[in-house]
Amino acid sequence: MPNGNLKLAIQKSGRLTEKSLQLLKTCGLDVENYKDRLFVTVRNFPMDILFLRDDDIPEYVQNGVADLGIVGENVLLEKRSVVDIAKKLGYGRCKLRIGIPEYEELENIEGLNGKTIATSYPNIMQSFLNENKLDSRVIQISGSVEITPSLGIADYICDLVSTGTTLQMNKLKKSFTILESEAVLIKYKELEMNNEKAEIFSNLLARIESGLNAKNSKYLMMNIPKNSLKKIVEIIPSLKSPTVLSLADENMLAIQSVIPADKFWEINEDLHNEGATDILLLPIENIIL
Q: Are strands 183-187 and 68-72 parallel, antiparallel or unpaired?
A: antiparallel
| Alpha carbon 100 to chain centroid, angstroms | 27
Phi-psi category of residue 53: left, alpha or beta, with phi > 0 → left and psi -120 to 50 → alpha:
beta
Position 286 confidence tier, pLDDT thresholds 50, 70, 90? confident
Give tens-digit pLDDT for 161-173.
877 788 888 899 9
Neighbours of 239 (CB within 10 A): 14
pLDDT at 144: 86
Which uninterrupted H or E stretch holds 26?
Answer: helix 17-26
Lowest mean pLDDT of 110-119, 130-139, 166-175, name the range: 166-175
Please state whether beta strands 156-161 and 183-187 pair in parallel, antiparallel, or not at all (unpaired): unpaired
pLDDT score, position 256: 93
Going by pLDDT thresholds of 50, 70 and 90, the confidence category of residue 289 is low
- Average pLDDT of the residues of the chain: 91
- Residue 6: alpha-carbon gap to chain centroid: 22
pLDDT bucket at 284, cuts 50 / 70 / 90: confident
Burial of 182 (0-12, 13-18, 19+ CB in 10 A): middle
* CA separation for the pair 285, 215 (Å, rounded): 7
d(CA 284, CA 211): 9
Answer whether 0.75 is exceeded by the pTM: yes
Minimum mean pLDDT range among 22-26, 68-72, 202-206: 22-26
Tens digit of pLDDT for each residue in 172-231?
A: 999 999 999 999 999 999 999 999 999 999 999 999 999 888 888 889 999 999 999 999
Domains and CATH numbers, the chain: 6-92+183-214 (3.40.190.10), 94-180 (3.40.190.10), 217-282 (3.30.70.120)
- The pLDDT, as a whole number, for residue 239 is 65
**DSSP category for residue 180:** E
